[in-house]
Chains A and B, each alone.
Chain A
Amino acid sequence: MTKESYGWQGRILWVDLTTEEISTTPLDKELREKFLGQSGINAKLLYDNLEPGVDPLSPENHLIFGVGPLTGTLAPCSGRFTVTSKSPLTNAFGDSNCGGHWGPELKYAGYDHIVITGKAKRPVFLWINDDKIELKDASKLWGKTTNETEDQIKEELEDEKVQVASIGPAGENLVNFAAIICNYSRAAGRTGMGAVMGSKNLKAIAVRGTNRLTVAQPQEFSATVSDSEESILTDPLYEISSTFGTPAIMRMAQSLGFLPTKNFQESTFAGADKLSGERLLEKYVTRQKGCFNCPVSCNRYYEVTEGEYEGTTGEGPEYENLGAFGSKCGNDNLPSVLKSNDLANKLGLDTISTGTVIGWAMELFQRGILTTADTDDLDLEWGNHQAIIKLIEKIAYREGLGDILAYGALQASKKIGDSAEDYVIHIKGMEYPSVDVRGTKGMALGFAVSPRGADHLKALPLYEVAPEVYQEDIKKELGIEVGEEYWKKYETKPELIAWHEDWHCIVDSLGLCKLEGIALKPLRPCHFTELLATATGWEITEEELRTIGKRIWNLERLFNAREGFTRQDDLPPARILNEPISTGPSKGETLGQDKFETMLDQYYKLRGWTAQGIPSKETLKELGLEVE
């Protein structure tokens, strides 16, 4: 058996929905060694095959699914896959990473990537059953929710083990922030990948795989897996991750004064305790749910057993969902947030953009820019949870005001006019997650320079707020000395963010979960080199591996530069840049345009980019990314 057989399956599946031609090509060694897998190779395939200026919702756009060399192996938290395309929300590079069990199944079917082009003449779903690939009629599935779609496809194929990634009505109706959902609640949520799928008349991809997945050095790999699992299970933060998941952050954000409230007008929310991870666990969580091969199982099932939302069941929510449908909308009714979360998953919406867009609409209502004449008589007063739920449905089905909000806040603001754009909290057209970054300068930088718009996940420097937990790692790995209230400082943040971006490119390209890899300490770069070496037989140093991360990061930047994005697109909106936080423990904190731009200059210089944020010829040459 050759090296090519280990880790990767070595095949790319190409599906042209217009011509219904289906083919496979080998996954080149050079591609693997330069871009590793999953998000990295997805980015390279998109860059090489997509003409600049293409309409994201046209048949010419490419929709690419990818898994990494560790996806589906015994490596812990290896259930990830990435969906990549040009985003209809931002017109920039788009990708979204997802857990669950779909990614490993694709690997077992024998593929590392799927590249989908064209547009089907009628609604179809792609059925991948090892080497047998079919486009099947999905007319009866069109209009169904994601969970109905998953159930009906399993029933039609008479196989409960089939894994399904599908879109709901939001994707069919081309909502710019539509998600792709698998396992009922795991979402490739951000940047509107579900809308791209809908534009191609592709309702779902069902996968069943029975091929073997082999590793190069089974005994050594097994030992490295054991060591990695031990690191996760003995990590001091394991209990919090495993017991509460990300909702534990809610009261911490409140305590630090970073909890976006009422569309970022305030940074503390009086109802935070009612939305907390502690309250969720006490009242509503019924049991845990884990992704493929995850010893943490940070996801949960929930059920509401009384009150207005009695009978609501679902999975999650994450902290981001609590912020999006909760504090950002001035809503402290947790059962309604659980209902909103479940509804968004079923309709196939990105919860972060959906909640943030609704919060923005509520501020427009507060300011009289929208009135009941614009909202179909919906009262968009802060905290009106019935209105929030109604708007979620209206967005997915593009009814009334929902038809406008479905474009995303920035594009919608241009349709609404007046001063609506002044209150859009976004980068590159994508809405901010639930962190008021005026208090956390590194996160502010990370959100700003992310190729996919306002985004907490590309950098995810959890170190920044609790540096003492990691200070020895930070000193050893980054050479940075941290001090009191490190989050408030601008100094060393370009280095902190660049380091996280590079390594998270690696985590996303290997097929691992970044919460356990880098972000929450347990898995370090040494684990990645050892897992990769023993799984694939490819010996690589940490420095060489990080260089691959840098190459991927620069390629994504290059994609955006080719589409016309520049420094101006890395600047936060005026509220975030110049208005001080008005309430709470971080009152008075602000980014300040001059200080932020100085930090941005330092970051560009560190990256080897021009003052406009474009990778220089020298940087591209150094990374082997020379282009015309």
Chain B
Amino acid sequence: MTITVKYFATFCLETNFTQQEELTIEEDTTVIELIELLTARYGTGFEKRLFTAEKELDPLCWIIVNQQRLKEKNDFQLKLNPGDTISFSPPMLMGG
């Protein structure tokens, strides 16, 4: 199945400025499995931006599947669906 992955700001520093890409992944791939795939693709720097030293999700990282933000570790077991959009971003700011 195909999904869209978006990388914002500091995450773009890990993807060599790829802002957005279509990825073909296996059915029932979970969010954490996608993160593992992206870490293999872009290096451990990608993973380090997501998790603290204690392997908790860094509260300053936003992972958004479609319009829904994932905040708990359990959310990472969410299975992705064809056509989903997943975004990796630092906290979003407005007004500058």
Contact = CB atoms under 8 A, between A and B. Distances in A.
Contacts of B8: 248, 251-252, 255, 278
Nearest to B59: A468
Contacts of B93: 237, 248-249, 252, 462, 465-466, 520
Contact of A469 (B17, B60, B64, B96): B60
Contact of B90 (A237, A456, A460, A468): A237
A293 B92 CA distance: 27
B19 interface: yes
B24 interface: no
A246 B96 contact: yes
Chain A interface SS verdict (over half): helix
A138 interface: no
A243 B17 CA distance: 13
Contacts of A253: 94
Nearest to B94: A465
A537 to B, nearest CB: 35
Contacts of B89: 252, 255
A443 B94 contact: yes
A249 B96 contact: yes
Interface of A: 236-237, 239-240, 243-244, 246, 248-249, 251-253, 255-256, 258, 273, 276-279, 281-282, 318-320, 433, 435, 440, 443, 456, 460-462, 464-466, 468-469, 487, 515, 519-520, 585
Interface in B22-79: 59-60, 64, 67
A240 B90 contact: yes
Nearest to B64: A255
12 contacts: A237-B91, A240-B10, A248-B93, A249-B94, A252-B9, A252-B92, A253-B94, A255-B89, A278-B8, A278-B17, A319-B96, A456-B96
A520 B94 CA distance: 11
- Top 4 nearest A-B pairs (CB, nearest first) are A246-B96, A466-B91, A282-B17, A252-B92
Contacts of A320: 96
B65 to A, nearest CB: 13
Given A249-B94, A255-B89, A243 B60 contact: no
Contacts of A248: 8-9, 93
B94 A469 contact: no
A427 to B, nearest CB: 15
Given A237-B90, A465-B95, A466-B92, 7 more contacts: A237-B60, A248-B8, A249-B95, A252-B89, A319-B96, A433-B95, A443-B95
Nearest to A585: B67
Contacts of B91: 237, 466, 468-469
B13 interface: yes
B87 A255 contact: yes
